[in-house]
Structure formats: structure tokens, C-alpha cells
Amino acid sequence: MKTAFIYSDEFGSYSYGGSYPMRPARLKLTYELIKAYRLLDLPDTQIIEARKASEEEVLLFHTKDYINVLKEANDGVIPENGWQHGLGYGDNPVFTGVYDWSLYSAGASVQAAETVLSGHTDFAFNICGGLHHAMKDKASGFCYLNDAVIAIEYLLERGKRVAYIDIDAHHGDSVQFAFYDTDRVMTISLHENGEYLFPGTGFSHEIGTGKGKGYSVNLPFPPETDDMVFVNGFEEIVPLFIKRFKPDILVTQLGVDTFRTDPITHLNLTTNGFKAMVKRFRSFNLPWVALGGGGYNLSNVARAWTIAWGIMNDAVLTNKMPDSFSETAREFNISERILNDAEDEHAKNKFSDKKELIWKEVSGNIDFLKRTALPLIG
């Protein structure tokens, strides 16, 4: 397989501010760990220098009024009418370069779509992508431009059927809403139940409308869901719906805020569950655009996305991180020197009373989706 890693040093050169858990510096950390494993020197891999999205590209989804206001915010000052577009409030701070940084994220996702669509590469990874909350006319949930929707719109314009699968702890709300009434895109989101976590959507009954009925698939999980339950749910839903839909191209959002040590979510996954799902994506043998996403523990982000890039390239990685990464790890106060989380064999093979209750809830949603959404897919 030929692969492309879309990257720019600009990715990690911006900051939301000290109090915000979203830190673009995590992208530089990830790049350095991937480089330390020499995963960018493989014979069938290329590094593509990320570019900013054009205005024409961002307008594939976003409104002109919103883009004009976001441009105004680029100097780090909240525009007079910024509040109307979610700028400068909640999880959407206005910082110097906010528009430029967002253009890099969106442009890199379009580049990933371009290179996969052209056949020059089979898989492409934009670790700066996956900003799945940005709405058509406003910022939301740390996200200003929705690179996933923009890249999918690019593919739709070229006649492709796209499956979008999101394994972030937060529901991929804006991607779902963008394609809620079409049968040309299937959105599948596995996430923490919206009763407990932003954005409060993504319930199993949200299955689309009109031509899109059945093509929006949501599998929410209760807090404390672990690898075993999450991956079992994934295996019950994702391969079945992908087989029925028969997409031309796969787009995945690989958020790692599902991990048990993430500071703002309530799930209990590890690199082991994450790895199992990425391997399954790989097994579909579809042209694949992989995007980053959430993840607020820097070590989790770097380790998981290095593992993902290794899987895309069929690379075997040592569990001990390379010595050449030590200086970078110290710079970011990363104490881990092991790539993979330890696997608890006892927990993996045993259902506790609590896990039984969690699985009962999840399996009820699985049955609902198989009965209601699956038969509608043609």
C-alpha cells in the first residue's frame, strides 16, 4: 500500500491559550514520535507539505458571512458580531492565527482526499483534521472549520460515495447534520452518550431523514465503557453497515479522547481497543482518508496516532519508544516510554456486573440499529 502523511510545522505553532485543553502542540509531538520510529522513511510513504484551504474549498460547507467574521478574528480580537458565530465564547477562543490554523487543517484534509482520489496513494493521514463540531455558520467545540465535511464535499463533487466513521468520545454532530438527508454519505459515530458529554446529541434514534433515512448511524456508550465493550459494539455495527453501503472511499475520525486517562471524558479505552478498530479500518481495503480528532492527554495522542500510522503502513513497532524521542518527551513533560498500554487479560475476558449493565444498554442500541436503519440502506 502507498501512504501519504500530510503535515506542516505550522500545525503545532498556534495556541488556544493556557487554560484550554485543546493544544495544537500535540501535533508536533505526534510527528516527532512518528519520525523517531522512522515511519516517514518507508519506501511506499510520502510526506506531503500541508497547504491552506482556498476560500472556494471552505465555502463548500461554510457560509460566506461566517468566513468573513472568522477572517476578522485572525488577529486574536473577538469581532463585534463574533458571538453570533460562536467566536470567543465557551470552547471557541479567538487567538492569533485562528483562521490561518483552521485553513491548514481544512487544506490538509482536502489534500488527503485529493491524493487518495487520484490513486497516487491508498491511505492518507491528516493528524490536524477531524474537527467535527464546526457548524456551517459558527464555531463549536474547539472547531472553527469542519475539515471532514469539506473533504467529503470535495469527494461528492467527484461522484464518490463516502463512508464517514467517527470513534471520538464526542458525537460527530456537524458531520452527521451536514449529510443527514442524503444517501451518498453514511455517517457512523461511536461515542460517549450525549446525556453525559458535549454536544448532547448522537442518540441511536438519529438515523437520518428523507433520502438519508438509515444513513446516519449512532452508537452511544455509557461512561466507564472499556475496550471490550466499545470494540464489541464497533464490530457489531461498522463492518455490517459498510458491507451494506459499499462506499467508494472511507473517511475516519480517529479521536483518542475515549482513553481512560483523558482529562475531559469518561470512557476507559486504551491503545489496545484503539488499535483493534484501526486494524479493522485497514482490513476494509478501501481508499482511506484518516483524520485526527480529539485527545487532551498529549501522550495518548502521540502514541495512538503513531500506532495508527504504523498500522496503515504494515509496520511492526517496538513497544519501547526510540531513544531519539527522549528529548522531545522531556520537552512536553511526557513520562511514558512505552508505546502500548498494558492489556488487562482478566478484564478483557470477564464481564463484571457493571460491565454487564453497560453491555445491555449498548446491545439494545445495536439491535435497534439493525432493525431500523440497516434495512433502509440500498
Q: List pLDDT tens digits, range 270-284.
A: 999 999 999 999 999
Distance between terminal CA atoms of the chain? 30
Q: What is the pLDDT of residues 223-240, one digit of tens each?
A: 999 999 999 999 999 999
pTM: 0.97
Query: Is residue 170 among the annotated active site residues?
Result: no
d(CA 238, CA 277): 10
Q: Starting at the edge strand that comes first in sequence, how are the strands of the sheet with 216-221 ordered?
A: 45-49, 3-7, 123-126, 288-291, 249-253, 162-166, 185-192, 216-221
Per-residue DSSP letter, 101:
H
* pLDDT at residue 269 tops 90: yes
Helix (H, G, I), strand (E, B) or coil at 133: coil
Dist. CA 258–CA 47, nearest whole Å: 28
Domain holding 168, by residue range, is 3-376
Residue 162 has pLDDT above 70, yes or no: yes
Q: How confident is the model at residue 180 (pLDDT cuts 50, 70, 90)?
A: very high
Residue 88, Cβ neighbours under 10 Å: how many? 18
Over residues 181-202, the pLDDT tens digits come to 999 999 999 999 999 999 999 9
Q: Which of 133, 170, 171, 191 is catalytic?
A: 133
Q: Give the cell for residue 132.
A: 467535527
Determine the average pLDDT of the residues in 314-340. Answer: 96
Query: Which CATH number characterizes residue 73's domain?
Result: 3.40.800.20
190 and 168 Cβ atoms separated by less than 8 Å: no
Task: Render pLDDT for 132-157 as a digit per residue (tens, 0 to 9).
Answer: 999 999 999 999 999 999 999 999 99
Query: Cis bond leading into 199, ω under 30°?
Result: yes
Listed range (16-20, 314-318, 360-364) with the worst mean pLDDT: 16-20
The number of domains in the chain is 1
Position 350 scores a pLDDT of: 64
User: Residue 353: what pLDDT?
Assistant: 83
| DSSP calls for 20-52 | -S--THHHHHHHHHHHHTTTTS-TTEEEEE--P
Cα–Cα distance for residue pair 220/271, rounded to 1 Å:
20
